[in-house]
Structure 1
């Protein structure tokens, strides 16, 4: 058996075969976990391989405190829930266990990652999905352009695991790249990625004192934002890039701040009712500005310029680490994401989600990842010291936890049988081979350079279809993809990378893999109507409630 992949010497061919499975899923993040459950639900003997010592990926180990960003909900076309199926079952189980707020899912439901971690363990055991922790799948076993399995390494040494179908849910398309299937990196014109991140939770916060401070600060005017940007540019050498512009129904969309005075009565009401005190970053002419949104998901309410000005002064004092070479927007301000976290069924105040929000490096180069990790950890410590010195209410703050995982928004994407585009999303395109839906988040791009304006965010007027062809890599058979590395353009990727959407594509990949293994066919030639009916039977959402005629036509 020959080997095509990252090991030119054919090292994988010399490894012993440890086991044979119907379906092997590589990566136990949002997509991989749901893919494994979906495959097992359809009768496949399934193995889930995870490089960490826990399930859930960024949901449990990323320190972000929620499932998001958009993806569960979109109150458009008469259907308020876009993603259903196994992922919605997971959320309801999580709610019942006290790991998420009760009720219908919101845009970004806060979660207790420890509860979710235990729940995922239980689900795999209940479903008889075999799990292999602390195991890295580093190569694909390929024969005549057909994937036969993967090569892995762990405490037991190197070994080969054979499979009828392999699902790459690694987020970075590791197995696709190793197999010889085509892939792309980042932005089309230069291959640059969305920035990586390193989240942390800060405890010991006097929330009353911090809010009292915020109440005394004036909201930044447009002129003040302009002055702040000019000062930042002079100090940091940051330049402004032209705004990325999208058009929906002839209306231009650019990334702009949403300005509104903070309703402190609503803030206090939210606190009394135990709702999340969310903090957001509104990005526009003045760059990132802290903003608190305690009332409605997705709403940005800017906070005063005081902390931004304090941060610039802090940089001038020289209390920051040497820059990472790839970071053009140097020393981004501390991230404010939330003043409360979900624990044991309730939102608990006094712990803030923070950390390095964006840092630019090659997310497939381990040496660069290591350098970036060291830089981001140092910068997180600087953030903590800054908040202790300059932010009232943070005098006794401390780091509760720092994410063990690098937040990787973007790396490789497969070149599939269909490349989903930003135009598909903006038009709400439908496809005969639909296997999932996405929305309301539209084409989205974080800055890939750190330059102000080098990004765009949009909200869609209606959901869009995700075709099965976008899960199938070109050239290589018996290989499927689920999650953020499916086949899309750079801007469309910014929408489908949401966790709920990743789970939806993972569910489709899992069902397709199991059906293909059972029928002895390639996933490429699988009967699409059989797959769609199977997903429909699992409760997955592929059609809006007002699309009965289309649903009947597609599934007949």
Structure 2
């Protein structure tokens, strides 16, 4: 800890090459990549564990890791994926899509990767402010923990907050929700049920809302369960007698409004309990003795800030399966928007889903926030329009953009230049050397 004080009152920690804010998939991958490349790296995480939505958020399954033919989220993303599923005996080793997540195994996976690469980590450290050194340059992020307030200084910062907090506080332009109405994708608080009868669960009717025979269609119309108003019901067998649920919707939750998120957490817990009661009634053989063992510590936000970057990834890019000279990864996930308007639904229905082997590139320019010189974006706050955001917001993509951001941060430090001044070919070469996939 630097013995100086910041503005006469806040201690300073100034020995860092790279500071990554946010320890979700993107932030973890960024920190590992930066440290692997030789940068002295600090990861600041507001909760007590790394992993974000896959751990504290209890998302029960990975979105697909393949394009239908091969795994395309490679490098650190593939390492995390394969390590985390290695101990899941109910999962086929060859399975690449919709693989269930054991949150405790995933926590250990992230811990081990961070420690193996020498990343310094501070959990329970919440960043709540930014100090600028001048136009476009961040001097420090201000964080609080049991040691009080500290200004963490670095040569380059990476915003892995999910909502682009650091970029927004530093003055970056951004969009939030629908440009005309302000509408946001529905949120979900995930939860876990234990003491489920595995035989009946695995052999009964498919509960997913896309199944016309699922009881969720009757539950949503049952006045006994007013908390459950639609048929969003994804769930995955995650361990012995244990089922993880990504189910229920919360409407209009602004992730940048603490009061709104707090109210949504309370309502999300009500929804989880309502699902427990409803499943006991409608599927008693599987859930008659089930126990609500845990609700998530993190709200499942599907839409936050979209930071304006040097390049905005658009729906046109998505539909064209576009490749880029500066691409740092590929994506094949579909346009997944919860609570879409009729106009958006028409676009998605017309677009359909990618065929096997199809994907689009993710350009490095979408990781570079306009107006800011020593900040990189990763995770779901990268520069994209609202339609494409519905595809690139998921965890495999976040891991890929995180590795690229962390690698670029370390290279910029070593070359003593701003990240946007990097030779894109050199960045791509370094990523490819470490297993990344792009064209």
Deviation at 1:407, TM superposition (A): 0.4
Report which of the two structures shows the higher radius of gyration computed on alpha carbons: 1
Aligned-partner Cα distance in 2 for 1:42–1:63: 31
Instruction: Extract unaligned runs of 5+ from structure 2.
Output: 1-5
Q: Mark the CA change 1:99 to 1:131 in structure 2 (over 3 Å): closer, same or farther.
A: farther
Is the 2:209–2:231 Cα contact (8 Å) retained in structure 1? no
Q: Mark the CA change 1:390 to 1:506 in structure 2 (over 3 Å): closer, same or farther.
A: same
The correspondence for 1:134, drawn from 114, 124, 136, is 124
Is the 1:422–1:443 Cα contact (8 Å) retained in structure 2? no
Match of 2:141 in 1: 150
CA-atom RMSD, angstroms? Answer: 2.6
Deviation at 1:454, TM superposition (A): 8.7
The correspondence for 2:274, drawn from 382, 391, 395, is 382
Is the 2:159–2:375 Cα contact (8 Å) retained in structure 1? yes
Q: Indicate the larger mover: 205-214 or 399-408.
A: 205-214
Deviation at 1:134, TM superposition (A): 0.5
Q: Indicate the larger mover: 353-362 or 453-462.
A: 453-462
Deviation at 1:143, TM superposition (A): 1.7
Instruction: Extract unaligned runs of 5+ from structure 1.
Output: 1-10, 215-277, 283-290, 292-301, 322-330, 544-556
The 5 Å alignment of 1:20-419 reads: 20-67=15-62, 69-70=63-64, 72-75=65-68, 80-98=70-88, 101=91, 103-145=93-135, 146-208=137-199, 214=205, 279-282=207-210, 291=211, 302-304=212-214, 306-313=215-222, 315=223, 317=224, 320=226, 331-333=228-230, 335-338=232-235, 340-341=237-238, 343=239, 348-349=240-241, 351-353=243-245, 355-393=247-285, 394-419=287-312
Is the 1:200–1:402 Cα contact (8 Å) retained in structure 2? yes
Match of 2:338 in 1: 446
1:519 aligns with 2:428: no
The correspondence for 1:426, drawn from 314, 319, 327, is 319
**Count of aligned residue pairs for this structure pair:** 428
Is the 1:99–1:113 Cα contact (8 Å) retained in structure 2? no
Q: Mark the CA change 1:307 to 1:472 in structure 2 (over 3 Å): closer, same or farther.
A: closer
Deviations 1:352-409 (A, max 9, x none): 5254344322111001111111122122222222222333323222202111110011
Aligned-partner Cα distance in 1 for 2:201–2:364: 49
Aligned-partner Cα distance in 1 for 2:411–2:89: 33
Q: Indicate the larger mover: 188-197 or 468-477.
A: 188-197
SS where residue 400 of structure 1 aligns?
Answer: strand
Normalised by the length of structure 2, the TM-score is 0.90
Match of 2:3 in 1: none
Deviations 1:280-321 (A, max 9, x none): 332xxxxxxxx3xxxxxxxxxx425x55234423x1x5x546
Match of 2:354 in 1: 460
Q: Mark the CA change 1:353 to 1:475 in structure 2 (over 3 Å): closer, same or farther.
A: same
Match of 1:436 in 2: 329
Normalised by the length of structure 1, the TM-score is 0.72
Aligned-partner Cα distance in 2 for 1:375–1:455: 32
Is the 2:216–2:231 Cα contact (8 Å) retained in structure 1? no
Deviation at 1:500, TM superposition (A): 0.7
Deviation at 1:453, TM superposition (A): 5.9
Deviation at 1:149, TM superposition (A): 2.3
